[in-house]
Amino acid sequence: MTGKAEGAAGAEIVTPDLEGCALNTTARIVLLNGVGSAGKGSIARALQTITTEPFLHVEMDAFMAMLPEAYHDHPDAFTYETVLDDGNPQVVIETGPVGARTLCGMRHAVAAMAGQGNNLIVDDVMLGGTAAEYADLLADFEVFWVGVYAPLDVLEARERQRGDRLNGLARWQYDRVHKDMNYDLEIDTSIATPLECAERIKDKFQL
């Protein structure tokens, strides 16, 4: 039931109906997986403007940004080591316990948001067992797996242009992110705009 209480200066505060927060499996979830700088965020924002129903954008970067600044390059969270790959920089990422539970928390948060009937566009970089965990957590929902691709030279050029990414992240992720993945749709952002990619997703899954 909805309750009411008095707040500061006598303002009325309406509390939510917590009894109404039962599991709801009607949510539709678009999982965007790709290397950093592939264009997932731009596609997600474009898709939000054209879907029939509202979709929330959940991005991995937002969860990583929740960490204290001191943990942005810390062995307990994430460390970034630049090595050379045929003369080209490659940033090796190591994940510590704080980083692991942060990203695990994101995946469980996605399931919790979906469980309240929220349609979601999830923007992630799936490594290791990430995809398998999503599959388990979201087994009760309608999930659309989308692989977001671009050639390595395009990704590295974007990386340099952005200025908020370490040069070499894309090269390290490139052969790892899509390994053993099975997608419902694959899109190449080097030959289509974010809106064109979003329209393909919308049409394919009737969003």
Residues labelled catalytic: 61
Which runs of consecutive H residues, i.e. helices, occur in 1-143?
Answer: 40-48, 60-64, 97-114, 130-137
> Which of 147, 101, 158, 152 minimizes the C-alpha distance to 125?
147
Residue 59, sorted as left (phi over 0), alpha (psi -120 to 50) or beta, turns out to be: beta
* Kind and range of the H or E run holding 172: helix 169-174
Cβ–Cβ under 8 Å, residues 103 and 137: no
Cα 109 from Cα 8, distance rounded (Å): 31
